[in-house]
Amino acid sequence: MDDAMIARIRANPSYIELKRKRGAFSWILTVIMLVIYYTYIYFVAFEPGVLAEPIASGDVTSIAIPIGIFVILSAIVLTGIYVWRANGEFDRLTRRIAEEVQ
């Protein structure tokens, strides 16, 4: 890739749009995942008693179980959301960039 091509791509509106949208999207999702996981780890490490509460009085099932399952499902759902948008919107933008700068 020569310097002229680099300059052309960097000035391309579709490229600027892709970079802005995808950059924000992937960092937001990353932060959401890190917050969910490290909040969970925080409670495991510092407040395990909170997680030991039963989900309803008289039950043995602790809230740690649905919370753990929630962390697992959130990882799958967040990944799915990213793939859905990237394989649609972002790939369309990427194709447009390739066509426009050739």
* Contact footprint for other proteins (CB under 8 A): 1, 6, 9-10, 15, 18-19, 22, 26-27, 29-30, 33-34, 37-38, 40-41, 43-46, 48-49, 51-52, 59-62, 64-65, 68-69, 71-73, 75-76, 78-80, 82-83, 86-87, 91, 94, 97-98, 101
Answer yes or no: are the C-beta atoms of 56 and 29 closer than 8 Å.
Answer: no
Write the Ramachandran bin of 58: left for phi over 0, alpha for psi from -120 to 50, otherwise beta.
left
* Min CB(67)–other proteins separation in Å: 10
In three-state secondary structure terms, 62 is strand
